[in-house]
Structure 1
Amino acid sequence: MYRLGHYGSALLVYAPLGFGLVLADLPDLAVLGGALSLGLAPVPDYDQQLPLVSHRGVTHTFLFAGVVGGVFAGLGWAVGASTAAHSALVLAAFGGLVGTTGILSHLLADIITPAGIAPLWPLSGRTHTLDIVRADNTLANYLLLGLGVLAVTAVAATATPLR
C-alpha cells in the first residue's frame, strides 16, 4: 500500500489498543500511542532508501516488528524510571505494544497486495500474499485511511474510563 493506506491501517490496528488505554484511565497514553502508531506506519518502507536492503525484505518481517517493539519497550522503561508520570512497567508494556503493532499494521496492509511479504524471514523466505488489491490502488488506500479514521473516531466517541 501507499502512505495513506499505511496510515489508515495503523489507526485501524491501533484503535482497540487505544480503546483499552482509555478504559484503563490512561487517555494520555491513548493519544500518544495513536501518534506513535502514525509515526511508525511508514517505517518499514524506509528500506527503499537503504543501500543493500531489499524492499519488503527484513523491514517487513515479524522479526523487525519484534525488534521495534523491544526498542520502544526499552524506551518506555527508561522514561518510566526517570519520571513519575507512569511506572516503568506500564510504559515498557505500552512502548512494546505500540512499537510492535505499529510495524505489524504495515505488514497487514502489504500482505493484501500481489507482491506480498515474507514475514517469517529469516526462518523462511517464502512470500505470503492475499492478492486482494494492488498497492497503487487509490480507492483501496483511501478506504483503509477512512476505516482507520472511523475506528479511532468511534473509540474517541465511545470509550470512557472504567471507575
Structure 2
Amino acid sequence: MKELKGTTHLAIGVGIGVVAAATHPITVTNAAAFVLVAAFSALSADLDGTSLLSGKLTKAARLIRVLMLWGGVAAAGAAAYLYAAKAIFYPYWTIAAAVFVLLGLISGNGAIRNALVSLIGAALIYAGYAIGHGWLMGLGLFVAWVPWLNHRGLTHTVWAVIAWGAIGWGLERKLGIEGIMTTATCGYLSHLVADTLTPSGIKWLYPLTKKTFKLPFR
C-alpha cells in the first residue's frame, strides 16, 4: 500500500485529540478544541494533493470548468450572431469568450481545485488580518500555498512540522487552552510518521536532501 487513506489519518488525529482532552482539564469546549485541532492537523499535510479536506472541491472544480468552456462557447456564438445578423462587433466580449473557452480547454480539474483551496487560504489571511489574529494569517498562508507543491514534498518535512507548531502556538495563545500547540504538532507529526511507514515513504529533510525515509529503513 503506497498511500494511506485520509480516513486513516483522520482516525489517528481524532485519537490524539481524545488523549489530549483526557490529559487536560476536561470541559466541553476544551475537548472539542483538542479533537478538532488534532483531526485537522492530521489531514493538513495532504493539502498538497487530493485529500479528505480538499476532495469535496473536485466536483465544484469540474462544474466551474464546464461553465467556463460552455459559457465561452455560448458567448462566442452570441458575438458571431450579432456580427452576422446586425453587423455589430463587440471586441471585448469576443476576447472574453475566447479566454473562457481556452481556460476551459487547458485548465484541469486539479488546477481549478487548487485555485479554490488557495482562495480559501486568501480569505483566511484577510480574516486574520481583519481581526488581528496572526495564527489565522499563518494558517491562511499555508492553505493558499501548499496546493501548488509536489505531493509529499515540503508539506511532509520536519520544516512543515515546525511551521505548523508555530501556527498552533498562536492559536493556543488566542484560545488560552494549554496544550493546543502540542496537540496540533502531534496531529501533524502523526501524518508524517504514518506515511513513513508506507513503502513510498517521505523526504523528511527535503530540500536539504532528497533521501526518502521509509520501511524497511535503509
Structure-2-length-normalised TM-score: 0.48
User: Does 1:78 pair with 2:81?
Assistant: no
- Structure 1 position 123, deviation (Å): 3.8
Other structure's SS at 1:42 match = helix
Aligned to 2:197: 112
SS of the aligned residue for 1:33 comes to helix
Paired residue type of 2:186: T
Provide the C-alpha distance between the structure 1 equivalents of 2:166 and 2:11, rounded to a whole number of angstroms.
24
Q: Which has the higher helix share?
A: 2
Post-superposition offset of 1:35: 1.6
Q: Which has the higher contact order (CA 8 A, sep 6+)?
A: 1
- Identical positions, percent: 27
Q: 1:19–1:109: structure 2 CA closer, same or farther, 3 Å change rule?
A: same
Correspondence 1:60 to 2:156: yes
| Deviation for aligned residue 1:34 | 0.9
Correspondence for 2:22: 19
Deviation string 1:5-32 (CA, Å, 9 cap, x unpaired) is 11122133444323211xx445632331
**Are 2:187 and 1:102 equivalent residues in the alignment?**
yes
Which residue does 1:31 correspond to in 2?
32
1:18/1:115 Cα in 2 relative to 1: closer, same or farther (>3 Å)?
same
Tell me, yes or no, if the aligned pair for 2:165 and 2:182 is still in contact at 8 Å. yes
Task: Using the TM superposition, give the Cα deviation of residue 71 of structure 1 relative to its aligned residue in structure 2, in angstroms.
Answer: 1.0
Aligned to 1:2: 5
The separation in 1 between residues aligned to 2:205 and 2:28, in whole angstroms, is: 34
How far does the alpha carbon of each residue in 1:39-98 deviate from its partner, in whole angstroms, 9 at most, with x for none? 2222111112422x1100111112111111111211221343xxxxxxxxxx3x523112
Contact 2:154 2:160 in 1 (8 A): yes
Q: 1:100 to 1:3 in 2, by over 3 A?
A: same
8 Å CA contact retained: 1:73, 1:94: no
Paired amino acid for 1:42: L
Name the aligned partner's letter for residue 210 of structure 2: G
How many angstroms apart in 1 are the aligned matches of 2:214 and 2:45? 17
Structure exhibiting the larger radius of gyration computed from Cα positions: 2
CA change 1:78–1:18 in 2 (3 A) is closer
Q: Unaligned 5+ residue runs, structure 2?
A: 50-113, 115-146
Counterpart of 2:12, as a letter, is S
Letter in 2 for 1:120: L
Distance in 1, matches of 2:207 and 2:162, equals 13
User: Cα RMSD between the aligned structures?
Assistant: 2.1
TM-score (norm 1): 0.62
